[in-house]
Structure 1
Amino acid sequence: MDKKILNSMFDNLLHIGNKSNYWNPKMKDYIYGTVNGIHVINLVKTGEKIEEVKKEIRDLHAEGKKILFVATKLQTRDAFAKLAQDTGHFYVTEKWVPGLLTNFKTIKKRIATYLRLLKDSESGALDVLTKKEKAAKMLELEKLDRAFKGLKEMKKIPDVIFAIDGVFEKQAVKEANSLNLPAYAIMNTNGDETVVQNLIPANTNSVKSIDFIAKIITESLAGVKVKATVVRKFDAKRVSGEKRTPTKTAPIKKEVVAEKKAPAKKEEVKTEETK
């Protein structure tokens, strides 16, 4: 492991684990030792895992797979919301809505409601309501925005989830596992590597540590050529159950194509050789 990289990880506090009495034995392979009752994470192992996860996430990104970054812990929100926005993926940073993955059919309707309210708010359509009615709609929009602002374009269940603290986001990881979705995570010494596809063992309590990892992942995705995917256009009315006005289409004119006659067979001309 490059000394410069090790020093960078140390300076950004990736090595600081949780109190030793709050650890999970399943993370013992990533623990270097204990100092003043605090576990110290083995930065050599962290560096190796960063490279592994970075490559796997980059490959998924290149294949056009959609990643849902789950970062509802206060220290993790800003860095990973920006990462998702910069790289074209989804994110949840305020609150994990139970059933977001396992009951996506219902969640999709809520997203449709959110998009409709957002459109009405921006267009001024809510201005025709009474003051009380408008206030109620704006309150509903505020709640939906906190839950779904990072999911506006999510038309189906994502291909992968990335939990920024695998323990803190255990509900998201649990739902992903129940659907056999690959789950990645950053985990501290109280984590469980057996519930995820791969992990980065690191300090999940420090903004510096989280920002450092987010920057590495963002840089690894920059400039990657993404395989084009065909996605059906999202129809909020269809999802919410509203009736759509049928569109009239012009009748298709059938073209009459004259039947081509087979060319007449030429009479065989006998030559001196065929006689």
Structure 2
Amino acid sequence: MFFEQLVKVGGHLGHAPRSWHPKMAPFIVDSRDGVHILDLVQSYAYLNQVKQFVSRAKKQNSTFLFVGTKPQAAHSIALAAKSCNSYYINQRWLGGLLTNWTTLRRSIGLLNRMELVQRQGVTETLPKKLKSSFSREHARLQKYLGGIESMRSIPDVVIIAGQKEESIALNECKKLGIRTVTLLDSNCNPDSADLFIPVNDDSIKAIRTILTDLSGEISKA
């Protein structure tokens, strides 16, 4: 069932051979219609290893942060995180989010205060210009930090969709020793990954399938 589902959503489809990363060779079984074909048998094996890891981590009360800012991943990242009471970044990774956590936490604190002010209806009493300024700043903070507004410390595990797009996030995790789980397409570098799953990371449905499976495992633990 897993293989049929991943094939149906294009989880096996990699990039054109000219765009591949040679170190992904062990996870590629063929080249068809101008694209590399990923080995779903290995995808399944690696997914199961990751599921065992996140299950153990959850039982140890670890916290999870889902990260994916490219358009194909953004919506699924938010859905997966919310479904297992985790955190997420799906619009833009703010440099230093983890390595300069003390500073970022101040911005989160500001967002929390603005949320409180809005809930209390105080904004309705503000002059028009001030109210407009407040609304713009609140919308900006909510867009970029809304998925982590209740996060009080750096996460224990970061789940990433889009290795190339999220290189800054990966580097910050590596610097801090935070465990990562990455969806790896045929143009990615497995040497730069911690735990990973070989799969198409450009298909909306493939990304959603994998993230739903992982969030379900976190919820179960």
**Residue aligning to 1:184:** 181
Matching of residue 113 in structure 1 with residue 106 in structure 2: no
CA positional deviation for 1:29 = 1.0
CA–CA distance in structure 1, aligned partners of residues 178 and 32 of structure 2: 37
Establish whether residue 43 from structure 1 lines up as the match of residue 52 from structure 2: no
SS of 1:167 mapped into structure 2: coil
What SS does the corresponding residue of 2:165 show, helix, strand or coil? Answer: coil
1:205-216 → structure 2 map (5 Å cutoff):
205-216=202-213
Structure 2: runs of 5 or more not aligned: none
Confirm whether residue 83 of structure 1 aligns to residue 80 of structure 2: yes
Sequence identity percentage: 25
Q: Distance in 2 between matches of 1:61 and 1:167?
A: 27
Structure 2 residue aligned with 1:12: 9
SS at match of 1:154: coil
> Contact 2:67 / 2:159 at 8 angstroms: preserved in 1?
yes
Per the normalisation by structure 1, the TM-score is 0.77
Which of the residues 127, 135, 140 maps onto 1:138?
135
* Between 153-162 and 71-80, the greater mean CA deviation after superposition: 71-80
- Deviation at residue 176 of structure 1 after TM alignment: 0.6
Secondary structure, aligned partner of 1:85: helix
Instruction: Give a deviation string over 1:145-197, Cα, whole Å, max 9, x none.
Output: 01111101111111111111122211110111111111110010111111222
Residue 142 of structure 1, CA deviation: 0.5
Code of the residue aligned with 1:181 in structure 2: it is: I
- Measure, in 1, the Cα distance between the counterparts of 2:215 and 2:193: 21
CA contact (8 A) 1:13 1:203 kept: yes
- TM-score, normalization by structure 2: 0.96
Q: Which residue of 2 aligns with 1:100?
A: 97
Residues 186 and 199 of structure 1 are in contact (CA less than 8 Å); yes or no, is this contact kept in structure 2? yes
Residue by residue, what CA displacement relative to the aligned partner does 1:51-102 show, whole Å, maximum 9, x if unpaired?
1111111111121101111011111122221221121211001111111011
Matches within 5 A, 1:208-247: 208-224=205-221
Tell me, what secondary structure is at the counterpart of 1:183? strand
Structure with higher helix content: 2
What is the deviation of 1:216?
Answer: 1.4
Question: Does 2:160 correspond to 1:163?
Answer: yes
Partners of 1:30 and 1:201 within 8 A in 2: yes
CA–CA distance in structure 1, aligned partners of residues 183 and 136 of structure 2: 34
Where 2:196 maps in the other structure, the secondary structure is strand
Letter in 2 for 1:6: F
Whether the 8 Å CA contact 2:68–2:90 is kept in 1: the answer is yes
**In the comparison of the two structures, how many residue pairs are matched?**
221
Q: Per-residue deviation at 1:5?
A: 2.7
CA distance, structure 1, for counterparts of residue 87 and residue 14 of structure 2? 28
1:231 maps to: none
Q: CA RMSD, aligned part only? A: 1.2
CA deviation digits over 1:84-126, x for unaligned, max 9?
1121211001111111011111000000011111111121112
Structure ranking higher on relative contact order (CA contacts 8 Å, 6+ apart): 2
State the SS of the aligned residue for 1:222. helix
Structure 1's unaligned 5+ residue stretches are 225-275
Cα gap change, 1:33 to 1:205, in 2 (>3 Å): same
The secondary structure found in structure 2 opposite 1:33 is strand
Contact conserved, 1:167 with 1:187, CA < 8 A, in 2?
Answer: no
The letter of the residue matching 2:108 is: I
